[in-house]
């Protein structure tokens, strides 16, 4: 609880105590005394006391975070009165600064000489196939349910009006804010240097890159129209190598490991969801929802929320407890870990092309790679310059997970269990919400300190310092040579030969 709030509470109690207990001399006559002015004074004191209690309750209400309020109301899911926590919505969480064990500010006496941001697009509407499934679910509920349980009454008249695929207005603003944040953190560079910007070819990624650029240049106080026009767009099409959108390894996309994430999610779903599904079916008699439909029902919370221009939490969010949302975030984390990350034998390999491009940018040497990079683009100084000090790339969550793994960021974290939730702070900082929320961003910065000629590299994911495999100092930094040496997996091409089997 904030210190200023505690001070106000103490002040209220001190006033109450001071006004309620006042010394008066004992009367000489022990006979009962009736003094009208004292009755009036007591009534006045009682009024002050009631007012003080009311103010205290208000202060406590606004002082306690949403998560703590939800915990203070056990059974809130039974009447739809739970307090939403957007940090539990997996990859559909809006961006938030993740708590860091290491101070993420630039160390005193150090100067950033190079900065790269790899960003996910901002908050979006559901993909077209998912949107169709959500609409079917609502129509099914409304056609089969005649009585809605407490908290679910709004569904009787609910109309599904969420769009498809593209950024929401909130998602657009997220990216404007992200561009401004990049400018602010690296102002000594961004005041004078233009970043080289690339975007994967889907409309929401391109729009995100443009909004980021607008935010950066607006913060700088200059127009960014030319910069938006110069964004390099890499198509997301078959048979076109693209280091910021996976798809070049057919065995990863369609081979034996492509179903691994579904197997793990199914195992967790069968442990986590039955009791929730049972409650929903009791609240919605006649709906007979399946476990999968329960997941879709929960999906409506984040998507309906980010469809609001201010991301106001939807009524759907209040139907589930904090613990149930913790299970939901974990369900999505299993998808990322076993689908695209270290839990998939070919997951990290999908990110090696990008990592080899990072090495080239850090060293100023040509890209050495035979995996997902586009050799035509990467061999040209127009489409892959090596002399810039600011870079910005825009991609998707799944590809970013593979890039994190290729960088070795979560190496050493045991495979996520399907028997119980492994909290992010016990999984090296890994969860879907912590690493790839909407508008997620990875900063990779190079710096020098004082008169020391050594160069250091540090990585932040959503403002949390994440240490790579190399030996890091107390600031989470590695010396440049040590950092590059730690990327041997990427430099050797990962397991790309398995893609060609």
Active-site option among 214, 378, 397, 475: 397
From CA 448, how far away is CA 354, in angstroms rounded?
A: 24
**C-alpha separations of 330 from 171, 324, 414, 484 in Å:** 23, 10, 15, 32
Longest dimension (CA), the chain: 107
CA 35 to chain CA centroid, Å, is 65
φ and ψ of 224, to 5 deg = -120, 20
For residue 230, indicate whether it is catalytic: no
Active-site option among 121, 214, 246, 475: 121
Of 202, 146, 211, 225, the C-alpha closest to 175 is: 211
**C-alpha separations of 103 from 98, 116, 228 in Å:** 12, 19, 33
Question: What DSSP element (H or E) covers 362?
Answer: helix 352-363
Alpha-carbon dihedral 30, 33, 37, 40, rounded to 10 degrees = 110
Q: What is the DSSP string of 183-249?
A: HHHTHHHHTT-PPEEEEESSHHHHHHHHHHHHHHHHHHTS--HHHHHTPEEEP--TT---TTS--S-
Question: What DSSP element (H or E) covers 157?
Answer: none
For residue 121, indicate whether it is catalytic: yes
Q: What is the DSSP string of 20-63?
A: H----PPPSS-S----HHHHHHHHHHHHHHHHHHHHHHHHHHHH
Residues annotated catalytic, as ranges: 121, 397
């Amino acid at each position: 609880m904030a210190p200023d709030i505690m001070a106000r509470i103490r002040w209220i109690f001190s006033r109450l105590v001071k006004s309620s207990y006042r010394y008066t001399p004992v009367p000489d006559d022990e006979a009962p005394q009736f003094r009208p002015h004292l009755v009036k004074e007591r009534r006045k004191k009682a009024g002050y006391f009631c007012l003080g209690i009311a103010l205290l309750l208000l202060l406590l209400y606004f002082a306690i975070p949403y998560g703590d309020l939800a915990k203070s109301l056990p059974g809130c899911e039974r009447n739809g009165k739970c307090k939403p926590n957007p940090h539990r919505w997996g990859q559909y969480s809006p961006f938030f600064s993740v708590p860091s064990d290491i101070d993420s500010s630039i160390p005193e006496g150090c100067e950033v000489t190079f900065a790269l941001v790899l960003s996910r697009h901002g908050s979006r509407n559901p993909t077209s196939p998912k949107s169709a499934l959500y609409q079917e679910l609502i129509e099914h509920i409304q056609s089969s349910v005649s009585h809605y349980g407490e908290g679910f009454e709004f569904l009787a008249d609910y109309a599904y009006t969420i769009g498809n695929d593209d950024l929401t207005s909130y998602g657009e603003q997220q990216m404007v804010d992200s561009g401004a944040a990049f400018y602010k953190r690296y102002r000594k560079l961004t005041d004078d240097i233009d970043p080289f910007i690339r975007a994967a070819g889907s409309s929401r990624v391109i729009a995100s890159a443009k909004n980021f650029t607008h935010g950066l240049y607006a913060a700088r106080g200059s127009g960014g129209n030319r910069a938006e026009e110069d964004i390099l767009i890499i198509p997301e099409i078959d048979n076109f190598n693209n280091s910021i959108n996976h798809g070049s390894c057919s065995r990863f996309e369609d081979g034996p490991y492509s179903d691994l994430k579904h197997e793990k999610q199914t195992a967790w779903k069968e442990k986590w969801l039955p009791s929730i599904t049972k409650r929903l079916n009791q609240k919605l008699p006649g709906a007979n929802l399946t476990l999968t439909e329960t997941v879709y029902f929960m999906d409506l919370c984040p998507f309906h929320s980010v469809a609001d221009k201010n991301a106001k939490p939807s009524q759907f969010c209040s139907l589930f407890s904090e613990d149930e949302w913790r299970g939901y975030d974990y369900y999505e984390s299993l998808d990322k870990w076993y689908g695209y990350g270290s839990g998939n034998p070919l997951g990290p390999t999908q990110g090696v092309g990008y990592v080899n491009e990072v090495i080239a940018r850090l060293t100023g040497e040509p890209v050495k790679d035979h995996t997902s990079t586009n050799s035509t683009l990467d061999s040209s100084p127009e489409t892959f310059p090596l002399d810039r000090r600011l870079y910005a790339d825009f991609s998707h969550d799944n590809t970013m997970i593979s890039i994190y793994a290729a960088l070795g960021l979560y190496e050493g974290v045991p495979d996520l269990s399907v028997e119980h939730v492994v909290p992010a702070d016990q999984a090296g900082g890994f969860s879907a919400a912590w690493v790839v929320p909407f508008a997620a961003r990875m900063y990779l910065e190079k710096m020098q300190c004082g008169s020391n000629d050594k160069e250091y590299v540090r990585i932040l994911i959503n403002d949390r310092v994440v240490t790579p495999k190399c030996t890091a100092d107390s600031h989470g930094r590695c010396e440049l040579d040590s950092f590059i040496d730690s990327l041997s997996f990427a430099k050797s091409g990962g397991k790309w030969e398995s893609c060609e089997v």
